Amino acid sequence: MPVSNSAFDLAIIGGGPAGYVAAIKAAQSGLKTALIEKEKVGGTCLHKGCIPTKTLLYSAELYRKFANAGEYGITTGSLNVDYPLIHRRKEYVVKRLFQGVQSLLKKNGVDVFSAEGRIISNQEVSIVSDGIETNRIKVKNIILATGSAPFIPKNIPYDKKYVLTSDDILLREEIPKSIIIVGGGAVGIEFACLFNAFGTEVTVLELLEDILPSEDKEINGTVKNLLIRRGVNVLTQTSLEKVEIENGVKLEIKGVNDISGNREFLHADLLLLAAGRVPLLDNIGIEEMSLNFDGQYLRTNEGMETSQRGVYAIGDITGAPLLAHKAINEGILSVTHLTGKDMHIINRKNIPRVVYSFPQVASIGLTQKEAEEMGYKVKIGKFPFAANSMAIIEGESLDGFVKIVSEEKYGEILGVHAIGHHVGEWMWGLSLNSILEGTVQEVSNAIFPHPTLSEALFEAAHSIVDKPICNAVE
């Protein structure tokens, strides 16, 4: 641990993607930087979120491919799942990336405190281990990057054995025979795809009208139909009334619009709580600072500075979307602001979203409904993967499509929505297009390599500007 009574240009409380990226950028800018993390640097994304879940999902995707290998002219023998081995590979991937983050922090000269950080004032931070202050540092600036945790309703008997959060279920080395997932957002749908692929009986409960409610209606409708075809029981507009633990779980549910008072009962081995996350802002010393909030999230200016000068907030504690790449960009932006450099302001409508389902869902910007409700006169371009060469080659052409929502008069791209094999890999290009104020005409003028999945975007753009090349196939 760094020596006590040190003076720093910047102290960062929280070592997730927002915090450790900000620390590295600050150190590269010549600031003496302290990073304070009570668990492991890398945060939820590395240890309990993005990385471990996507590692498991990759194994599930391979299993699905092998199960259908005969379609590709490949004959396999008996196909089995060794989930403990899949679990160990996940741990290896996490450990390797964790060591990489540690190495980057050390290489860039960041002082890392393995402890809790609590603000004493905007110029002083207390370092606390096991409830005891072990150090106190002087600082010129503070960045809060404490992240979020799974939301656990108070009326749910959360025991970490039968009732689990996404944190807990990643520790299990067994595939459940049955699971009920509360929440049809990205986390819930990813776990639904994972366990369905491995033969688990899966039920998804969603309070709202649609699963993936932040996605375009055509997208979430397609995902729902795909899940149902694969045997997933999807119950939307359904509320969870009661949970009992009986060597498994017993749930009492009812339809949101059911005024008769009828109740249904579901049983499963496990219950996974995936109904959102809450910001972690307790016990970090902000209670006396009179910081401004937007609901439960800290309010910041365009440079991520709070109402207290010299105190910044980044990542999940600043509000939706709760995404690692959004947090990383806020970390860079906060350091850019406090060092007085020219900033590029984050357009929150220009943040790509990816759901790592089978197939993937990726989007950016406004849905068609959102654009129309805002008064835009929209023009829609849509192209199916059923007419895309690479999708057909890879055997991933069913159901998928790309949809562009554009403003009719000038061709401004308001949103892009896609469902298909690894569509998340090229969604960054739409973010760049927005930064450069590109139009649908310019996307149609771009040269896309052939054959690639991304050509579906090219065709969708042409369907707005004139006609898609492959419109006869559609």
Ligand-binding annotation for 399, yes or no, is no
Catalytic residue of the set 87, 337, 450, 462: 450
Ligand-binding annotation for 186, yes or no, is yes
Ligand-binding annotation for 188, yes or no, is yes
Exposure letters 385-397 (e unless 16+ CB within 10 A, then b): bbbbbbbeebebb
Exposure letters 60-90 (e unless 16+ CB within 10 A, then b): bbebeeeeeeeeeeeeeeeeeeeeeebbeeb
Ligand-binding annotation for 187, yes or no, is yes
Exposure letters 265-282 (e unless 16+ CB within 10 A, then b): ebebbbbbbbbebebbbe
What's phi and psi for 454, nearest 5 deg? -65, -15
Ligand-binding annotation for 316, yes or no, is yes
Ligand-binding annotation for 214, yes or no, is no
Ligand-binding annotation for 184, yes or no, is yes
Ligand-binding annotation for 148, yes or no, is yes
First to last CA, the chain: 63
> Can you tell me the distance from the alpha carbon of 169 to that of 184, in angstroms, rounded to the nearest whole number?
17
Ligand-binding annotation for 424, yes or no, is no
Ligand-binding annotation for 147, yes or no, is yes
Ligand-binding annotation for 287, yes or no, is no
- In angstroms, what CA-CA distances link 385 with 71, 222, 320, 400, 473? 18, 13, 30, 5, 11
3-state secondary structure of 22: helix
Instruction: Assess whether 450 carries a catalytic annotation.
Output: yes
Ligand-binding annotation for 70, yes or no, is no
> Can you tell me the distance from the alpha carbon of 83 to that of 199, in angstroms, rounded to the nearest whole number?
12
Closest alpha carbon to 35 in 46, 44, 24: 24
Ligand-binding annotation for 341, yes or no, is no
Ligand-binding annotation for 185, yes or no, is yes
Going by the annotation, the residues of the binding site for FAD are: 54, 117, 146-148, 316
Give binding residues as ranges.
Answer: 54, 117, 146-148, 183-190, 206, 276, 316
As annotated, the binding site for NAD(+) includes: 183-190, 206, 276
Positions marked active-site: 450
